[in-house]
A and B are shown apart, each in its own frame.
Chain A
Amino acid sequence: MSAAATSRKRFAWTRRVSATASNKAQKMHVHYRDDLRLFPNRLRRAALAVMILAWAFIPVLWDVAPFTLLSGNGISLNTLAYAGVFSIAAIGLNLLTGYTGQVSLGHSVFLAVGAYSTAYAGSVWGWPMWLWILFAPALGWLVGAAVGPFALRLRGNYLVIVTLGLVFIGEHIFRNWKSVTGGNTGTSAAGVEVKLGFIDFENLSLFGKSFGKDESYFWLIWLLVALVAWLTKNVVRTRPGRALQAVRDQDIAAEIIGIDVGITGYKTQAFAWSSAIAALAGALYAPLQLFISPGDFTLLVSIQFIAMIILGGMGTIYGSIIGALVITAMPRLIDGISADYGVPGVAAKSTDSGLVSIASLNVIIYGFLIALFLLVEHRGLAGIWVRIRNYFSTWPFSY
């Protein structure tokens, strides 16, 4: 067979494949609206349905067969609730760092603002839930809007260090404003009422069945995760989000094309909204944790949030959630596995001998994951997923 014939044959085959591909699924976007749709194809809509079903049934089915793999190894519903709280905070950080390009090590401070204000308003003032759950983000927004213009006058490295200073100043305040925060020992949030109208999340009864705190908090928190994710997604796929991304990519150019980066401009607003979202997470953190102290809001916590968004994927909403799930679940999983089976060199209890304690191992793994992902795939798990998806969506021409 001549070379020309081979080439012709291969060309024909190419055309046939691409024709079937375009008939099978309408991948071509013909309108701007198509690009903006949240659930553009059947697969995404199916994923949405699966997520809704998971949300509704996971609390009921967590102790049943396939889930026991997780629930039997230290990942309880309570862990998932924590992961939800951290997902909210990580979405907030991703809005600021992933979309606007402003690195903040001060995120734990805003989590603390939400948590302490909820503990105080809920137990000392006795505010109902609908009030404190609005009050915390509002306060967080105000603090963020007050700090933002100062912090955002600076760029890059200087911003990292100023937000680092914010963590130390914040921690000092939490340790010393004893009448509100309880000082070093912390303050109790047990008196905070988690009750919306007739829905009492401490003691929920549905369809004649009563559920405990773990189940109802799961529903509440993950509902709010969905709400925050939806709102943030709407922000980032419309005009403000485009503006934020323009600021991230090149702030002077963004200013030239008419994006306001002044004192009340997009950077400060991103800072304020990111703080508000973190404070909302803090508001849920307080009743979940029941007792909060300055040790819960250290630099390490900020670093964990950074780890979440780096691991999950900067500049993606679902990446924040995946990152939060992995980073929250991992310590418990290590804990559960090493308690049950014993990992060589790891001391499960403080009395055991071993190379590292579990707490140390967890921190080492955070550090390692941050370094590994940044050096090998700095777009995170989301980046890996996009690569896999593109590989298959253009299959068999995967290059």
Chain B
Amino acid sequence: MTTFLQATFDGVATGSLYALIVLGFVVIYRATGIINFAQGGALLLGGYITYNVSTSWGGNYFLGIIFSVAVCAGFSVLLQRAMLQRIFREVVGISAGLLGWAALFYNGTTHLVGLIGGVVIGVLAYLITARIEARVGDRGPSELPLFGAIMVTIGVLFIIKQVAASIWGFAELSVDDPWELSTSVVGDVVLQHSKLAAIAMAAVALGVFFVVDRYSRIGIAMRATHFDHEAAIAQGISTKIVFATAFAIAGGVAALAGSAATAGPELITPNLDFVVFLAFPAMILGGLDSPAGAVAGGLLVGWIQNLVKTYVATTPAWFPIEDLDWLGAGFERVAIFIVMIIVLMVRPYGLLGTEEVRRV
């Protein structure tokens, strides 16, 4: 029983991370019909920014979380501008500025010169791109096939991951968080404080999201846009603002998940984005367009993953096969994909997703 409760607690902790990540996916999918793989990039950046603020920049962990959520939300909106509206001026300006700063810095100038040079280069690049875009004119909505947009986000994910690896290296880094390795013991179940904190953060974020989604103007606008895009525009809803909000929320929750995932005994490496791939089964189980499903699916998948992990390691007595070692290390990560495939065979639109009605 203790084993089961322990696995359940760990499962809820993992699951709340998944719920956050999946919420980001669902919000974007609901607004735009795109699965945004670049969420993994936001997660990674979020984790690393929290790391930087909490360790080398002398701030504390919570300041780091606020900062990383803000940066990732902004980054996510930029991505949306470039990808859906094909407005590249901000992206080009910021990348050119960063590259210029890095190049100057590596050529041995001082911090101040590097910074000013970077800003000048960035602003110039922004102005030039804006000029070019003004001449090319509005390209209108993207003619990309749907999968094309997904592929673009995968491309962006790969870029961010390698950029992060170039900046922070492949070494495992430890985030300076207030919990470290502390635990409490209830009954025989060990409750890691960092996991409790992850659950609490996820609960708060999800609670705020559901209130906003249900009662605020922008939340209603987002749901209306999902329900009928053109009718929403006809009612005076700015879909640009709705899309930007959706991406900002997604970027923010991904950064929060990234920070929570690296707290306590966990370490951060550029391979953290793998968590996003593990969250896909949760997204599928919940259904692509249901925020409530995101929470349910996330918790369920986290729970299944930890149960499988626990019981493959120590096979219970009633189980007919004694030794499950042949399943291999890390089988729990595959198990959730197998569960996902089985569910999809029975219900092709997930447990809580809406079936897509198609016209010919």
**A contacts, CB < 8 Å to B:** 103, 150, 153-158, 160-162, 164-165, 168-169, 172, 175-176, 250, 252-253, 256, 299-300, 303, 306-307, 310, 344-345, 354-357, 360-361, 363-364, 366-371, 374-375, 378
Q: How far is the CA of A375 from the CA of B86 in the complex (A)?
A: 8
* B277 contacts chain A at the CB level, 8 A cutoff: yes
Q: Which residues does chain B contribute within 8 Å of A361, judged by CB atoms? A: 162
Q: How far is the CA of A299 from the CA of B274 in the complex (A)?
A: 11
Interface size class of B (residues with CB under 8 A): 35 or more
B155 touches A370 (CB 8 A): yes
Q: How far is the CA of A171 from the CA of B135 in the complex (A)?
A: 48
B154 touches A370 (CB 8 A): yes
- Cβ proximity bits B82-109 to A, threshold 8 Å, 1 near / 0 not: 1100100000000000000011001000
A103-B147, A306-B151, A363-B158 known; A157 vs B288 contact (CB < 8 Å): yes
* B295 contacts chain A at the CB level, 8 A cutoff: no
Tell me the chain B residues, 6-21 only, with Cβ under 8 Å from chain A.
Answer: none
16 further A-B contacts with Cβ under 8 Å, apart from A155-B356, A252-B360, are A158-B284, A160-B147, A161-B283, A162-B341, A165-B340, A165-B341, A168-B333, A168-B334, A169-B337, A176-B329, A310-B148, A310-B151, A356-B162, A356-B166, A363-B161, A364-B159
Q: Which residues does chain A contribute within 8 Å of B48, judged by CB atoms? A: none
A172 touches B348 (CB 8 A): no
A378 touches B344 (CB 8 A): no
* B157 contacts chain A at the CB level, 8 A cutoff: yes
B152 touches A371 (CB 8 A): yes
CB distance from B294 to the nearest CB of A (A): 14
Q: How far is the CA of A97 from the CA of B23 in the complex (A)?
A: 29
Q: How far is the CA of A224 from the CA of B298 in the complex (A)?
A: 47
* B35 contacts chain A at the CB level, 8 A cutoff: yes
Q: Which residues does chain B contribute within 8 Å of A162, judged by CB atoms? A: 340-341, 344
Q: Which residues does chain B contribute within 8 Å of A366, judged by CB atoms? A: 155, 158
A363 touches B162 (CB 8 A): yes
Q: Is the interface of A mostly helix, strand, loop or mixed?
A: helix
* B156 contacts chain A at the CB level, 8 A cutoff: yes
* B146 contacts chain A at the CB level, 8 A cutoff: yes
CB distance from A19 to the nearest CB of B (A): 37
Q: Is the interface of B mostly helix, strand, loop or mixed?
A: helix
Contact of A345 (CB < 8 Å), options: B106, B329, B334: B106
Q: Which residues does chain B contribute within 8 Å of A356, judged by CB atoms? A: 162-163, 166
* B326 contacts chain A at the CB level, 8 A cutoff: yes
- Cβ proximity bits B333-356 to A, threshold 8 Å, 1 near / 0 not: 110011011001100110000001
Q: Can you list 14 A-B contacts (CB < 8 A)? A: A157-B29, A158-B288, A165-B280, A168-B337, A172-B330, A172-B331, A172-B334, A252-B358, A299-B277, A310-B148, A345-B103, A363-B161, A364-B159, A375-B83
A157-B288, A252-B360, A375-B86 known; A370 vs B151 contact (CB < 8 Å): yes
A157 touches B348 (CB 8 A): no
Q: Which residues does chain B contribute within 8 Å of A355, judged by CB atoms? A: 102, 106, 166
* B292 contacts chain A at the CB level, 8 A cutoff: no
Contact of B145 (CB < 8 Å), options: A153, A306, A378: A378
* B150 contacts chain A at the CB level, 8 A cutoff: yes
Q: Which residues does chain B contribute within 8 Å of A364, judged by CB atoms? A: 158-159, 162-163
Nearest A residue to B158 via CB reads A367
Q: Which residues does chain B contribute within 8 Å of A172, judged by CB atoms? A: 328, 330-331, 333-334
* B186 contacts chain A at the CB level, 8 A cutoff: no
CB distance from B76 to the nearest CB of A (A): 15
Q: How far is the CA of A103 from the CA of B147 in the complex (A)?
A: 7
Q: How far is the CA of A206 from the CA of B326 in the complex (A)?
A: 50
A168-B334, A375-B86 known; A150 vs B156 contact (CB < 8 Å): no
Contact of A153 (CB < 8 Å), options: B159, B161, B348: B348
Q: Which residues does chain B contribute within 8 Å of A306, judged by CB atoms? A: 151, 154
CB distance from A146 to the nearest CB of B (A): 13
CB distance from A334 to the nearest CB of B (A): 13
Contact of A168 (CB < 8 Å), options: B106, B277, B326: B277
CB distance from B125 to the nearest CB of A (A): 16
Q: Which residues does chain B contribute within 8 Å of A378, judged by CB atoms? A: 143-145, 148
Nearest A residue to B161 via CB reads A363
* B281 contacts chain A at the CB level, 8 A cutoff: yes
Nearest B residue to A356 via CB reads B166
Nearest B residue to A151 via CB reads B341
Tell me the chain B residues, 287-337 only, with Cβ under 8 Å from chain A.
Answer: 288, 326-331, 333-334, 337
Q: How far is the CA of A46 from the CA of B165 in the complex (A)?
A: 48
B338 touches A169 (CB 8 A): yes
B340 touches A344 (CB 8 A): no
Nearest A residue to B338 via CB reads A169
Q: How far is the CA of A158 from the CA of B281 in the complex (A)?
A: 10
A157 touches B327 (CB 8 A): no
Contact of A303 (CB < 8 Å), options: B158, B283, B288, B360: B158
Q: How far is the CA of A164 from the CA of B329 in the complex (A)?
A: 20
Q: How far is the CA of A310 from the CA of B103 in the complex (A)?
A: 31
Q: Which residues does chain B contribute within 8 Å of A169, judged by CB atoms? A: 334, 337-338
B151 touches A164 (CB 8 A): no
A345 touches B277 (CB 8 A): no
A154 touches B337 (CB 8 A): no
Q: Which residues does chain B contribute within 8 Å of A168, judged by CB atoms? A: 277, 333-334, 337
Q: How far is the CA of A363 from the CA of B82 in the complex (A)?
A: 20
Nearest B residue to A314 via CB reads B145
A256 touches B333 (CB 8 A): no
A367 touches B155 (CB 8 A): yes
A374 touches B152 (CB 8 A): yes
